[in-house]
Structure 1
Amino acid sequence: MNEYQNSISLPFTIIFILIFSGCAMPEGPVPLSGDVPEAKGWTSETLISGLDQPWSITWLPDSTFLITERSGQLLYFEDYQSGPIQITGLPEIYVDGQGGLMDISIHPAYVENRWVFLTYASGDEDSNRTAVLRAVLNVEEQQLESAEEIFRVTPDKDSNQHFGSRIVWTSSYTFALSVGDGGNRPVKTGDVLSREHAQMLNSHLGKVLHLTQNGEPTETNPFVDDPDALPEIWSYGHRNIQGLAYNNESGNLWANEHGSRGGDELNLIRPGENYGWPEVTYSREYWYTSITSETSKPDMVDPKVVWTPAQAPSGLLFYTGDKFPEWQGDLFSGGLQGEQVRRIILDGESVIGEEKITIGRRVRDVKQGPHGFIYVLTGHDNGELIRILPE
């Protein structure tokens, strides 16, 4: 048996000792965020139910909208009362574990080019990766046209874990893309643990990438002139980012990131910076043993928030709407395990407080829709679209 098989074959008494004999979470310079007060002044309504593993939502300029289902469907809705229309023309998608059809975003100049961008897992169980598709949406024909894979992550992996992946536009022609580290120990990519790729600049795994609308590295990327690094890399040392949000006024890019057991993070992403995984972390292995004794190093960026117990964060919104004036300029982070949305109260680049919006279902995406309302996608099977509105 390998090291991992030996570790999970420990007698129950030893496992009991590991779990219950003071196996506290690591301490470090960032306080751990536990439970927080309930936010006030809001209510909710369920608009759509019966979705199959919904992953992302985006609106078109006419307020119609698209929802991706991880199981491989792209759905178009004319309004919240009409049923879904399935859009055809998707590529072959690898649907297994955490892989499938994931994020969707429309181009900033959608009115002119009708471009939609989707992230998905391509390949098979032996060789797969995160990829980005660009296509023209033909609503009348209910199909994608001129579909083209404009970017694929390297290297390929053989696990069904940790694909990322979110897209957020940083200008009228560039976007950030999050990519997971490839999988939990003992999963390997090549001859090293997949998680170690997060520290390797010749790998896209465990990174935030910065790409043009054609899937090419932007000219301002920090490693674009480094022959030993992939030019698409914007930041590194990430585990599995499933939420990205961009502040157009400040240029700040925010990310929420899954830890292992506990240690989920909110990070302010800076070009060229190392965010530590797996060399520094507040989380532990899923079987409670230590990943590392380090939670901070001088050459690595500390998180702004550490969620322990875990929130399993997914979906992140920087709110600019007018329906909740007191919430303007704050972040909203969904929680799969937490089954809530965290309002993260900002003062510039500092987090000064948190509140929760209890949903009671697994939250996959959080978006600001037309007219300034906040929308939440929930669930695995029988997923829902919920609108948050003033009470």
Structure 2
Amino acid sequence: MLAFTALLLGPCSPQAGPLTPSGEAPAATGWRAEPVVDGLAHPWAIAWLPDGSALITERPGRLRLLRNGRLDPAPITGLPPVCTDCGQGGLLDLAPHPDFAQNRLLYWTFAEGTADANRTALARGRLDGRQLRDVVVLFRNADAKSGGQHFGSRLLWLPDRTLLMSIGDGGNPPISLNGVPIRTLAQDLGSHFGKVVRLTEDGRAPADNPFVDHPDARPEIYSYGHRNIQGMVLDPQTGEVWANEHGARGGDELNRIVAGGNYGWPEVTYSMEYWGPPVSDARSRPDVIDPVVVWTPSKAPSGLAIYTGTAFPAWQGDLFSGALKFRQIRRLQRHQGAIAGEQTLDIGQRVRDVRQAPDGELHVLTDAAQGQLLRIVPD
């Protein structure tokens, strides 16, 4: 088992200040990972459709259909151009419209542009058999950046049928934009970098977004001060939005996302620079929402799910956070709204996405040139 330090905080309390270590995580027992599909090229996200089939994005720019446990050999056609030489970018998350059964609308995020000028974008299309029709880019980061770092990007439908989308901070030093380190724009309400945006189904800013009346703010912004969110899930019981995001060297975070919240990056963080010193001397500040969990060393968070199935009764209501670096999933045990402990599910491969299927089973995508879709079943 890999050693780590996790920092835990109770439920939605006032500013608690710097967190305290909780210790190492034991291994979860009574489960095994069962292969469903092999041969996926760096899969990034999976989403189920009402007929029981599923769609899987592959980062190199392919959308695959999984039906009756088998992967269609030909990708879905009709995607707009995807930047395939953008490092961490490519074809990213996808989310069927809440009324997909009636309107067949699919939403997805992707890196568009070139290696020297790229941005995170959101597109929508109508799935017609094995082809996307009426494809339109609904939203894109207002500014292009260079390099292949920190695109985000997860999608999450809220009960009011608005859509949350995470956008990364643009990258590590020395990457800059207009003469300033690009990551500092996570604190700039005039930029989409380092934000969660909230959009209507047509890609516009809802009238009740927290900064729509702020003259210098992008109206789409919902929360800010994020480094690179790559897991986001809605708690069906409480309506809370949970997200996990990458820190730098240490300082990965699990957060509750609230409208208008500032999550600190890079001014308030537990992260260390890759070359040594702390990114910031501040770990807490009155105007910044403290993380619920901080992982050090970094586990490199990926997909995030809340378990509501029946196969593992003791897991119900717990969060399951993927870990690219440690090649595992962390079970975050909850008690009366607080994170009460952690367990480790060792997958042995880079975990890119963790999702619960409509039948209640947890599914896992592994990030490799020959990636897999796995399901977690009782052992």
TM range (shorter): over 0.9
Asked if the contact 1:321/1:373 (under 8 Å) is kept, the reply is: yes
Moved more, 210-219 or 80-89: 80-89
Once the two structures are TM-superposed, the CA of residue 291 in structure 1 deviates from its matched residue by 1.2
Choose 258-267 or 220-229, whichever is displaced more.
220-229
Aligned residues: 365
Q: Contact 1:345 / 1:351 at 8 angstroms: preserved in 2?
A: yes
**Residues 1:94 and 2:83 aligned together:** yes
Contact 2:6–2:22 (CA<8 Å) still a contact in 1? Answer: no
SS class of match (2:113)? strand
Which amino acid is the alignment partner of residue 343 of structure 1? R
CA distance in 2, matches of 1:220, 1:249: 23
Aligned equivalent of 2:216: 228
* Equivalent residue for 1:160, pick from 133, 138, 148: 148
Give the structure 2 partner of residue 305 of structure 1: 293
Distance of aligned partners of 1:386 and 1:199 in 2 relative to their CA distance in 1, 3 Å threshold: same
Specify the alignment match of 1:206 in structure 2. 194
Residue in 1 aligned with 2:10?
A: none
Per the TM alignment, residue 25 of structure 1 is displaced from its structure 2 partner at its CA by 12
Q: Please, what TM-score do these two structures have when normalized by structure 1?
A: 0.90
> Aligned to 2:326, which of 329, 338, 354?
338
State the one-letter code of the partner of 1:65: A
Range 87-96 or range 316-325, more displaced = 316-325
Cα distance in 2 for partners of 1:219, 1:349 equals 31
In 2, are the aligned partners of 1:342 and 1:356 still within 8 Å (CA)?
Answer: yes
Q: Which residue, 43, 50, 57 being the options, matches 1:68? A: 57
- 2:43 corresponds in structure 1 to 54
Tell which structure's C-alpha radius of gyration is larger.
1
Q: Which residue of 2 aligns with 1:114?
A: 104
Structure 1: which 5+ residue stretches go unaligned?
1-23
Change (3 A) 1:138 1:185: same
Distance in structure 1 (CA, Å) of the matches to 2:350 and 2:119: 25
Structure 1 residue 328: Cα displacement:
1.5
Q: Return the match for 2:124 from 134, 145, 166.
A: 134
Give the distance between the partners of 1:256 and 1:33, measured in 2 at CA.
18
Report whether the alignment pairs 1:35 with 2:35: no
Question: Cα distance, 1:83 vs. partner?
Answer: 4.2
How far apart in 2 are the matches of 1:153 and 1:210? 13
User: Closer, same or farther in 2 for the Cα pair 1:325/1:214, shift >3 Å?
Assistant: same
CA gap of 1:106–1:64, structure 2 versus 1, over 3 A, is same
TM superposition shift of 1:35: 3.3
Structure-2 separation of matches of 1:32 and 1:236: 26
Match of 1:370, SS state, is: coil
Q: Which has the higher helix share?
A: 1
Question: Are positions 1:189 and 2:177 aligned together?
Answer: yes
1:343-382 matches, within 5 Å, as: 343-382=331-370
3-state SS in 1 of match to 2:332? strand
Structure 2: which 5+ runs fail to align?
A: 8-16
Among 104, 111, 114, the alignment partner of 2:94 is 104
In the TM superposition, what is the alpha-carbon distance from 1:34 to its structure 2 partner?
Answer: 5.4
Q: Structure 1, residues 137-187: CA drift from partner, whole Å, max 9, x if none? A: 112xx1100001011112211121100000011125211111100000110
TM-score, structure 2 normalization: 0.93
Three-state SS of the structure 2 residue aligned to 1:389 is: strand
Matched-pair contact (CA < 8 Å) for 1:25–1:282:
no
| 1:368–1:374 contact (8 Å) kept in structure 2 | yes
- Cα 1:122–1:229, aligned 2, differ >3 Å: closer, same or farther? same
CA contact (8 A) 2:122 2:139 kept: yes
Q: Distance in 1 between matches of 2:119 and 2:337?
A: 33
C-alpha spacing 1:160/1:174, structure 2 compared with 1 (3 Å): same
RMSD, aligned CA: 1.7
- Shift of the alpha carbon at 1:318? 1.6
Could you tell which deviates more after superposition, 269-278 or 288-297?
Answer: 288-297
Corresponding residue of 2:273: 285
| Amino acid paired to 1:306 | V
Asked whether 1:124 is paired with 2:106, we answer no
CA contact (8 A) 1:109 1:172 kept: no
The structural deviation recorded for 1:94 is: 0.8
Q: Who is 1:216 aligned against?
A: 204
C-alpha deviation, 1:382, in angstroms: 1.0
Q: Report sequence identity in percent.
A: 51
CA distance in 1 between counterparts of 2:316 and 2:303 reads 17
Structure 1 position 31, deviation (Å): 2.7
